[in-house]
A and B are shown apart, each in its own frame.
Chain A
Amino acid sequence: NAGVTQTPKFQVLKTGQSMTLQCAQDMNHEYMSWYRQDPGMGLRLIHYSVGAGITDQGEVPNGYNVSRSTTEDFPLRLLSAAPSQTSVYFCASSFTRDSYEQYFGPGTRLTVT
């Protein structure tokens, strides 16, 4: 049981490039979410999904897209990277949208130059 996995661990992009951050969980959790964490700050919700085929925006969705074609996978796409997207990105999951205890992946540290 691997829990929540994320790839890559580190990434450097140039402004304007696009990329996909991968997230997978093997716990059969319905609810999955993406957060970004900037230095000295808490976690801000980017997008979330309450089940396969259902996604919605969080607090800071601009510049990011998500999809949820399976229960296990929830990739986050950066459409055209900007320096303001330099951050640490965490994927998390929980049993259902009403199960507030979340399990977090190890994070992806992204730098945009």
Chain B
Amino acid sequence: EDKVVQSPLSLVVHEGDTVTLNCSYEVTNFRSLLWYKQEKKAPTFLFMLTSSGIEKKSGRLSSILDKKELFSILNITATQTGDSAVYLCAVGVNTNAGKSTFGDGTTLTVKP
């Protein structure tokens, strides 16, 4: 059974802090790892990673994948209150379904 585990489950920081969110996975037929941000509504796409060691960056957010150790991290630097959200990690597997398996998410709260 495919499995995606995120840690920590929740995190409270103050504005300006840097945070690292973790995602480990055990799946067959790995194709990609995706990060989404969910702010009380629908998840919105952040990054898709398919190759080890190549950092993806968007503003203060960055992410990297390690396919040997089967994990990914999402870094957020200089956090702002607007970064408060649930961050979901999903792994896409190569089956006829092309389906994604989601982790339970990390709830990040950024205090002013």
Contacts and interface: CB of A to CB of B under 8 A. Distances in A.
Interface of A: 31, 33, 35, 40-45, 48, 50, 56, 58, 90, 94, 96-107
A104 B97 contact: no
Contact of B98 (A42, A43, A100, A104): A100
A101 B98 CA distance: 11
B34 to A, nearest CB: 6
Interface of B: 4, 6, 9, 31-32, 34, 41-45, 48, 88, 90, 92, 94, 96-105
Contacts of B45: 101-103
A100 B97 contact: no
B41 A42 contact: no
8 closest A-B pairs by beta carbon, nearest first, are: A97-B98, A100-B92, A42-B102, A104-B42, A43-B102, A42-B104, A100-B32, A41-B104
11 contacts: A31-B98, A42-B4, A43-B88, A45-B99, A48-B97, A97-B96, A98-B98, A100-B31, A100-B100, A101-B45, A103-B45
Contacts of B31: 98, 100
B104 A106 contact: no
A42 B23 CA distance: 13
Contacts of A48: 97, 99
Most interface-central of B9, B31, B43, B103 (chain A CB within 10 A): B43
A50 B34 contact: no
A102 B36 CA distance: 10
B97 A97 contact: yes
Most interface-central of A41, A90, A96, A101 (chain B CB within 10 A): A101
A102 B98 CA distance: 11
